[in-house]
């Protein structure tokens, strides 16, 4: 249920409602809009208990209405306005489109720093790179782990780029949080509920990738796990779903951008690299994502894709990435958006 306060209800009226609901044992989440405050009320038998408390009769309360979707915190019932996620001095979810770019895996210092400086020059604002790599085969490169995190931190010092990197298990949350600006929960872990709860207890923004077979509702409810722990800084990332098609690595679901924008108030970015698995498809799908309203892109870039230890076929060279950024800038302008100014 949500309690909608009257237009410009007094602070005292809001505090009185919060105090009464808190004493009744409800979990409360406050959304302060331009002209009114909305209070999300979460708990068992909420509808019946609120009716018995006559909350609707309290001073300053306009109405009490049910939340129709199973996701209470991520949905627009509670927060009609678009959320803007602060990542240091960057804002994701505003007019600016942010591009996260870098190698699938951190391989060595030379590789990472060359990519970091290159994508920074092209206009990226966030460096992506995997230090812990969950791989389908146990014989594939698993990442440099903490050494990879240290190299990412060095790249941040040299370039000023923020860092997004994956946390693959509850036991790694603490150490990754020390280094990363954004914690990535990968597709394989989208319904790792203990991990979702753990990142929900941090104060770091969380990039939540869609599972390969996840519905929109399952994906949003995964975000709900994070938010229920108190961390509202969640960013969705569409990275393709599994279908019967085998020409592409996945089927990139561009419709997820307007769907999530309609159902939730959280930002949405798109990963056309994993979404297609083929480098020559990355740019056209990136342009489609921006045209559809995406708040950002995640793109894999490697100085020598043919020699990459992970995901070389879908990685762009630095020259190809520069070309992508030039085209993205034009499409962003056409839809009244812009790339973050350097």
Quote the pLDDT of residue 116.
Answer: 98
Q: Are 195 and 185 in contact (CB under 8 A)?
A: yes
One domain for residues 304 and 262:
yes
Query: 3-state class of 14 per DSSP?
Result: helix
Is 144 part of a structural domain of the chain? yes
Instruction: Work out the pLDDT band at 341, boundaries 50, 70, 90.
Output: low
Q: Dmax over Cα atoms in the chain, in whole Å?
A: 68
* Domain with 46 in it: 2-65
Nearest Cα to Cα of residue 203 among 87, 93, 82: 87
pLDDT at 2 over 70: yes
Phi, psi of 111, rounded to the nearest 5 degrees: -60, -50
pLDDT at 340 over 70: no
One domain for residues 241 and 322:
yes
Residue ending a domain, among 30, 65, 100, is: 65
Quote the pLDDT of residue 139.
Answer: 65
One domain for residues 30 and 98:
no
Quote the pLDDT of residue 48.
Answer: 83
Share of the chain above pLDDT 90, in %: 77
- Lowest-confidence region among 20-29, 195-204, 269-278: 20-29
Quote the pLDDT of residue 27.
Answer: 86
165 half-sphere exposure, CB direction, 13 A CA radius: 33
Is 291 part of a structural domain of the chain? yes
Query: 3-state class of 110 per DSSP?
Result: helix
Q: Are 241 and 250 in contact (CB under 8 A)?
A: yes
Is 73 part of a structural domain of the chain? no
Is 135 part of a structural domain of the chain? yes
Quote the pLDDT of residue 17.
Answer: 93
Taking only the tens place, the pLDDT of each residue in 105-129 is 999 999 999 999 999 999 999 999 9
One domain for residues 19 and 121:
no
Residue ending a domain, among 65, 94, 111, is: 65
pLDDT at 67 over 50: yes
One domain for residues 98 and 57:
no
Is 266 part of a structural domain of the chain? yes
Instruction: Work out the pLDDT band at 342, boundaries 50, 70, 90.
Output: very low
269 Cβ partners below 8 Å, 6+ apart? 92, 98, 100, 207, 235, 236, 237, 238, 294, 295, 296, 297, 298
The stretch 198-224 carries a mean pLDDT of: 97
Quote the pLDDT of residue 83.
Answer: 95
Quote the pLDDT of residue 46.
Answer: 82
Instruction: Work out the pLDDT band at 305, boundaries 50, 70, 90.
Output: very high
Is 242 part of a structural domain of the chain? yes
One domain for residues 136 and 221:
yes
Average pLDDT of the chain?
93
Query: 3-state class of 322 per DSSP?
Result: helix
Taking only the tens place, the pLDDT of each residue in 153-182 is 999 999 999 999 999 999 999 999 999 999
Separation between Cα atoms, residue 131 and residue 151, nearest integer Å = 9
One domain for residues 47 and 161:
no
Is 252 part of a structural domain of the chain? yes
One domain for residues 42 and 181:
no
One domain for residues 249 and 113:
yes
Residue ending a domain, among 65, 93, 109, is: 65
**CATH assignment at residue 291:** 3.20.20.70
Name the token pair of 321. 């990435």
**CATH assignment at residue 6:** 3.30.70.1140
Taking only the tens place, the pLDDT of each residue in 176-198 is 999 999 999 999 999 999 999 99
5 half-sphere exposure, CB direction, 13 A CA radius: 26
One domain for residues 209 and 289:
yes
One domain for residues 52 and 151:
no
Separation between Cα atoms, residue 60 and residue 63, nearest integer Å = 9
Is 77 part of a structural domain of the chain? no
Number of domains forming the structure of the chain: 2
Taking only the tens place, the pLDDT of each residue in 69-94 is 889 899 998 888 899 999 999 999 99
One domain for residues 90 and 48:
no
Taking only the tens place, the pLDDT of each residue in 227-274 is 999 999 999 999 999 999 999 999 999 999 999 999 999 999 999 999
């Amino acid at each position: 249920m949500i309690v909608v306060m009257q237009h410009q209800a007094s602070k005292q009226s809001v505090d009185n409602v919060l105090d009464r609901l808190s004493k009744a044992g409800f979990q409360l989440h406050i959304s302060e809009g331009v002209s009114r405050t909305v209070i999300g009320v979460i708990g068992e038998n909420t509808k019946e208990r609120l009716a018995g408390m006559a909350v609707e009769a309290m001073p300053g309360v306009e109405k009490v209405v049910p939340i129709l979707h199973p996701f209470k915190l991520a949905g627009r019932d509670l927060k009609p306005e678009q959320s803007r996620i602060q990542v240091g001095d960057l804002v994701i979810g505003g007019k600016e489109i942010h591009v996260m770019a870098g190698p699938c895996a951190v391989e060595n210092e030379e590789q990472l720093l060359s990519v970091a400086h290159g994508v920074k020059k092209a206009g990226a604002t966030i460096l992506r790179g995997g230090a812990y790599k969950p791989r389908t085969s146990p014989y594939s490169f698993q990442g440099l782990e903490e050494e990879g995190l240290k190299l990412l931190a060095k790249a941040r010092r040299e370039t000023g780029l923020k860092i997004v990197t994956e946390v693959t298990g509850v036991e790694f949350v603490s150490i990754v949080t020390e280094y990363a600006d954004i914690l990535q929960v990968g597709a394989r872990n989208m319904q790792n509920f203990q991990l979702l709860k753990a990142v929900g207890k941090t104060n770091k923004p969380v990039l939540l990738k869609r599972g390969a077979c996840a519905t929109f509702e399952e994906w949003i409810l995964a975000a709900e796990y994070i938010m229920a722990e108190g961390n509202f800084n969640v960013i969705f990332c569409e990275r393709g779903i599994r279908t019967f098609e085998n020409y592409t690595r996945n089927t990139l679901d561009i419709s997820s951008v307007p769907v999530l924008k309609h159902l939730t108030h959280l930002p949405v970015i798109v990963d056309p690299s994993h979404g297609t698995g083929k480098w020559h498809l990355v740019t056209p799908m990136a342009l489609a994502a921006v045209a559809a309203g995406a708040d950002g892109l995640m793109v894999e870039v490697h100085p020598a894709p043919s020699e990459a230890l992970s995901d070389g076929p879908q990685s762009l060279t630095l020259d190809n990435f520069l070309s992508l950024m030039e085209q993205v800038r034009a499409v962003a302008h056409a839809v009244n958006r812009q790339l973050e100014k350097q």
